[in-house]
Structure 1
């Protein structure tokens, strides 16, 4: 019985719906043409390809150029529809009250910082990994790298990262609701249930 656990809603939906995703190679000529453009200019170019639902594709120049590179490749290499076998799936989500989710995120962030996440970033920089490459990956890498470089105070780093993770979690929940509207049934477990009750409910769903 294969189990796909965790990841973003997009990853789960791409498997269940058989998304036809292509690997996109680097385009040196396109990158050279875009290299001197500002982030607002790149954002405008990207918006000519697609509707920008959030800013995660364009929060850095490097991300924006890669997003344009992908859209341009898809424009020149349209994907053909492929038939995928139907997947009989049981999709289970954990339904957690918003304030409790926010508290858990903040507690987990403090724990990760206390357990050496800053030293991990310092180590990566000491090994020669360019700061812009770490910032490219967003969230923790972005904020902690800027803190280690002295661009943010500890408080600015923590509050900025905390807010960004809260926003990310909110977008994830929005995506899950969209999956339901697109026909994927999600069976929601109450996060407050005891573990035994959660396991019992899942067993019941599996037997249906």
Structure 2
């Protein structure tokens, strides 16, 4: 992998491959095929596959795949650790700086559109937020709700409050914690954008676009395989950590549904039905996002 860097700027990767697409569209298999033929390194670009514990539920690559090609940034974050697009980008930058990608193709694969945008367009720098500050605001979100915190934001940072919906708890909390940590509004940080880490013009950018009925079938079959492989025990292990419901890992599709079954609120059969439906809805949202947010320089691939 060719890379270049100007003084004071991030390393810029040239010749990377970016593979986006909805869940269960076959992205990992596509990436593995390219890695096998090119000797490349597969880098995770999915915000849920970064978490440990939830290997099956987030469809992380299995042992057979790991034996074929190096996979990086999978399962390296504890579910109790807050993790953002900015932190992921810093992890990618550290991977580049390590030299592991030198002379090898970097293959970024995943379903998180914001990760790909950050790679190719850069990201606004954000301050480090102390863990205590982050936890306090997340706890307040749990106890008081998004609307109440939106009112707090309106008094302390009216510009941010005007841009964020009163129901968007995650963005409200983010604006509040950034303001407290830096004494600087989040909008001021967002006005500063770092240079991209990947040279978009020199990258091969693919969006997998499966036929919807086929994708729905894949989703259902995959969840059945997850259940057979023991995903219920994964969810049980996650719940044993007693994490706040606001933590991103707790929002992985299937956690809420299977947790309800484990708690006796619904049957396991109903939980599986609901999880499959939620996954199909999520895939639909992903496809819509990719259609509207990734430009014509992305090659659409029917699968």
Asked if TM exceeds 0.5, the reply is yes
- The question of 1:95 aligning with 2:205 is answered no
5+ residue gaps in structure 1?
59-63, 192-208
Which residue in 2 is equivalent to 1:153?
A: 267
C-alpha distance 9-81 of structure 1, shift in aligned 2 (>3 A):
closer
Q: Distance in 2 between matches of 1:108 and 1:184?
A: 31
Which ranges of 4 or more aligned residues in structure 1 deviate by more than 6 Å? 43-47
Which residue in 2 is equivalent to 1:76?
A: 185
C-alpha distance 44-102 of structure 1, shift in aligned 2 (>3 A):
farther
Question: Among residues 118, 122, 135, which one is paired with 2:236 in the alignment?
Answer: 122
C-alpha distance 114-188 of structure 1, shift in aligned 2 (>3 A):
same
1:93 Cα deviation (Å)?
1.9
Q: Count the aligned residue pairs.
A: 177
Q: Distance in 1 between matches of 2:140 and 2:243?
A: 23
Cα offsets for 1:175-206 (capped at 9, x unmatched)? 111223xx352212221xxxxxxxxxxxxxxx
C-alpha distance 33-110 of structure 1, shift in aligned 2 (>3 A):
closer
1:113 Cα deviation (Å)?
0.8
Aligned runs of 1:21-60 on 2, under 5 Å? 21-22=125-126, 25=129, 26=131, 27=133, 30=137, 34=141, 36-38=143-145, 41=148, 48=161, 50-52=163-165
1:92 Cα deviation (Å)?
1.2
Q: Distance in 1 between matches of 2:293 and 2:225?
A: 32
Q: TM-score of the superposition, structure 1-length normalised?
A: 0.68
Q: Report the structure, 1 or 2, having the larger strand content.
A: 2
1:102 Cα deviation (Å)?
0.6
Which residue in 2 is equivalent to 1:141?
A: 255
Q: Distance in 2 between matches of 1:163 and 1:186?
A: 28
Q: TM-score of the superposition, structure 2-length normalised?
A: 0.49
